[in-house]
Amino acid sequence: AVPPLVQLYGVPPGLEYLAQVGLNSLFLSIYLSGMLTGFETNNQYEIKNSIGQEIYHAKEKSNCFIRNIFGSARGFKMRIKDNMGQEVIQMDRPMRCCLQEIEVQAPPGVTIGYVKQEWSCFFPKFSILDPNNEVLLKIRGPFLPLKCCGDINFEVKGMLDEQSIGRITKQRSGFIKKCISDATNFCIQFPIDMDANMKAVLLGACLLIDIMYFEKGGNLFLKLLKGF
């Protein structure tokens, strides 16, 4: 188990672990999503550190009818709890058919940033914004992020959109796992000294990317057209 951390000045309660100087990556595993049923259920995620310790647990809350009819375009709330069962992060995504976005709150009710999709034909593009809607980072995905092409990298870049400072990687799943569920693994890498709030917003970006591009159901090209 992850040992309890001391409250840090200026860091929202529950994000102390993200503020650790040596933390430069997170791993996400999604499970129990539509397994063997043919219906999409609320997604659940285990969020772990580099040595496999679970530090957060995320669970989606959305309407069953909306989830199964509108699929990856659905609106939802994502509640993230620590190992003590306390809700430390909440993410709110409105339902829309184009230019997706997600709001990240920590603690719940206090906005710390946004992830907003940019217009693009075939390359996934997102902006990371602060609570005042000022762009801080950009995310650039590969041309046609197909599920069958091994690891898929989404580069996190600064405002100049040149050198990568981090990465969100959708890791390749085994054949059996693909057949029986939507189970997927992601790795989020970021600078060691990145602000804890921005690490939490990148976590939101990872969840949005997973639902938009890698959930079963829906056509990939229709998903890409959402950027038009």
**Contact between residue 149 and residue 170 where contact means Cβ atoms under 8 Å apart:** no
Q: Residue ranges of the domains in the chain?
A: 16-225
**Contact between residue 91 and residue 110 where contact means Cβ atoms under 8 Å apart:** no
Does 67 or 114 have the greater pLDDT score?
114
Distance CA(216)–CA(213), nearest Å, equals: 9
Distance CA(169)–CA(6), nearest Å, equals: 30
The whole-model pTM stands at 0.85
Distance CA(44)–CA(46), nearest Å, equals: 7
Average model confidence (pLDDT) for the chain? 83
Tens-place pLDDT, residues 159-213:
876 789 999 999 876 544 554 445 679 999 998 889 999 999 999 999 999 988 8
Q: How far apart are the first and last CA of the chain?
A: 45
pLDDT of residue 218: 45
Tens-place pLDDT, residues 113-136:
999 999 988 889 999 999 999 999
Distance CA(177)–CA(187), nearest Å, equals: 18
User: In terms of CATH architecture, what is 16-225?
Assistant: Alpha-Beta Barrel (3.20)
Return the structure tokens found at 59: 């669970």
